[in-house]
Amino acid sequence: MVSLQSIVPEPSEEDASDDTVEGRLSQSFYDRVAKRIAERLAECGTRVPVIAGFVGPCPGGLLAQVGRGYSDLTAALTAVGLGAAELQAWKLVDGIFTADPRQVPTARLLATISPEEAAELTFYGARFLNPLTAEQALRVGIPVRIVNVTKPRQAGTVITPAGRRGAPSPVPGQAAGEGEGNVVEPRGPTAVTIKHNVLVLSIKSNRKSVSHLFYSSIFGALDRHSVIVDLVSTSEVHLSLAINGSKLRQSVLNRLADELKAVGEVTIQPGMACITLVGKAMTGQPGSFARMFSCLTNINLHMISVDSSQINVSCIVDGDEALAALRLVHDKLLK
């Protein structure tokens, strides 16, 4: 067994100074680890290495910097160091679907997906791979395949690096097209996802400051309380923020609301959900977003947000209407 704790050397003074940027691990740290893994594996010769997922101590602490995806990250850094043809992540899911099949029975498996689409789906609720893991492999052109460990002959889903074209290669030992099952290639939207336990924090200006100072006061408070915002909707005197309630302690929310009362009237709507439609094919296509909203004419929409790249459109709905909204969008646009 190869222990990465013994692999990763103590950094030199020059390396250590480059390991973090604003308190977070920098890319140079991951590059150095990938290189050292490859060097250590080369020393194994013809022996088959079994690599533990733990990368050893790192500046700021492993869980704080990486989280619980460090085994996947170790696999990605190994693939990068070796210049692998493909990184395979063996999970308990068949791959990436047009929606969560536990919530939408008609959801279908995607054969391929772009890195941008995968990143958006992960941020807005889908959980299939640590984003940092995919980023490390994809940034050097290594495709990432999500495969079900209980169904080894299925091809799964391939996250294809930018610039790659053509069908993904089959799983080793599997003929092309074999075991793919109910697979779909997107021609319009790619997938729809849902994030539960969202709260909407709204601030109506007291008009004691001009609009840009109104905004700066709000985002300054968010920064001081380390609150991450999913969606923003603005007007000259009104700002609404969608926040992941599961990652925000009530005490922090209370302090934030008290501070924001200095700039305006504050209201909080808990129990919301965020529905996000993702697809690179929607970019520049007239009517793509209108088709989503036409599916939701009987659903109360509290916020709407469109990504500037037009790769996703999101809306906030009441939590008790979220599942119905998800299924409506999927069945009308992705079924």
Look up residue 63 and give its amino acid: L
**pLDDT tens per residue across span 23-70:** 678 888 889 889 999 999 999 888 988 887 776 677 777 666 676 767
Q: Residue 166: what pLDDT?
A: 44
- DSSP for 209-263 reads S-HHHHHHHHHHHHHHTT--EEEEEE-SSEEEEEEEGGGS-HHHHHHHHHHHTTT
Alpha-carbon span 268 to 242, nearest angstrom:
10
**What is the pLDDT at residue 182?**
52
pLDDT at 275: 94
Question: Checking DSSP bridges between strand 24-25 and strand 20-21, what pairing results, if any?
Answer: antiparallel
The mean pLDDT value for 161-181 works out to 51
> Domains in the chain and their CATH numbers?
1-84 (no CATH), 92-185 (3.40.1160.10), 192-333 (3.30.2130.10)
Write the DSSP symbol of residue 22. Answer: T
The pLDDT, as a whole number, for residue 181 is 47
- Per residue in 269-308, pLDDT (tens digit) is 999 999 999 998 888 777 778 888 899 999 999 999 887 7
Backbone torsions φ then ψ of 215, nearest 5 degrees = -65, -45
Residue range 104-157, pLDDT digits in tens = 999 999 999 998 898 888 877 777 777 788 889 999 999 999 999 999 889 999
